[in-house]
């Protein structure tokens, strides 16, 4: 599936629920599907700044594909990272760099997280894009 196909699928899934409590339950379930980072990478180098909760994100680069594993000490945050990884993991650097992440807006994640928390989400996206940029540069 393309990045946009996955985004559309997520938007559809979330649109099944009107109540934010149900959406949170979905996020909690998604968090359980997160490809969890190896504990040895749960160190400062892989910690993303700017979140109320701790988020570790670890990239791996093979055959021009970046895959991510991650973890968080908060479960809702874990769900949010899981969504980002669903969309952006196992992609080429080019795909990640050109991705337009409209699902965040469409499922109401941004509006439903206060600015500081939303910054956490944006920090995660920024970090993923930075890794893509770095691998893209190495390749050239």
Partner 1 sequence: MKNIEEIRADFPILSRKVYNKPLVYFDNGATTQKPKSVIDTLNEVYTSYNANIHRGVHYLSDASSEAYENAREKVRLFINAAKKEEILFTSGTTGSINSLAFSFGERYINKGDEIVISHLEHHANIVPWQMMCSRKGAVLKVIPINRDGEINFNEYLNLLSSKTKLVSVAQASNALGTLLPIKEITEAAHSMNIPVLIDGAQGIQHGVTDMQKMDFDFYVFSGHKIYGPTGIGVLYGKEKWLSELPPYQGGGDMVDKVTFEKTTYNELPFKFEAGTMNYPGAIGLSAALDYVLDIGREQIATMENDLLVYATERLSEINGLTIYGNTSKKISTVSFLLNGIHQYDTGMILDKMGIAVRTGTHCAQPVMEYFSIDGTVRASLCFYNTKGEIDSLAEGIKKVKSMFA
Report, as residue numbers or ranges, the catalytic residues. 51
Cβ nearer to partner 1, comparing 86 with 117: 117
Q: Which are the contacts of 81, defined by CB distance < 8 A and separation ≥ 6?
A: 31, 34, 55, 57, 70, 71, 72, 124
Residue 118 binds partner 1, judged by CB under 8 A: no
Q: Is 28 a binder of partner 1 (CB under 8 A)?
A: yes
Q: Considering only 37-45, 51-59, 86-94, 127-135, which stretch makes contact with partner 1 by CB under 8 A?
A: 51-59
122 near partner 1, judged by CB under 8 A: no
Q: Which of 47, 75, 125, 134 binds partner 1 (CB under 8 A)?
A: 75
What are the DSSP calls for 72-137, one per residue? ESSHHHHHHHHHHHHHHSSB-HHHHHH---THHHHTTTTTTS-HHHHHHHHHHHHHHHHHHHHHHH
Interface with partner 1 by CB under 8 A: which residues?
20-21, 24-25, 28, 52-54, 73-77, 117
């Amino acid at each position: 599936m393309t990045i946009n196909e996955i985004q559309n699928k997520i938007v559809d899934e979330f649109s099944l629920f009107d109540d934010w409590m149900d959406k949170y339950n979905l996020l909690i379930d998604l968090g359980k599907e997160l490809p969890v980072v190896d504990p040895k990478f749960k160190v400062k180098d892989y910690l993303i700044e700017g979140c109320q909760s701790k988020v570790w994100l670890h990239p791996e680069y093979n055959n021009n594909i970046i895959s991510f594993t991650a973890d968080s000490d908060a479960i809702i945050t874990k769900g949010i990272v899981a969504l980002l990884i669903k969309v952006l993991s196992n992609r080429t650097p080019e795909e990640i760099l050109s991705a337009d992440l409209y699902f965040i807006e469409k499922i109401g994640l941004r509006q439903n997280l206060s600015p500081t928390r939303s910054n956490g989400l944006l920090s995660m996206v920024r970090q993923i894009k930075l890794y893509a940029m770095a691998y893209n540069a190495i390749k050239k």
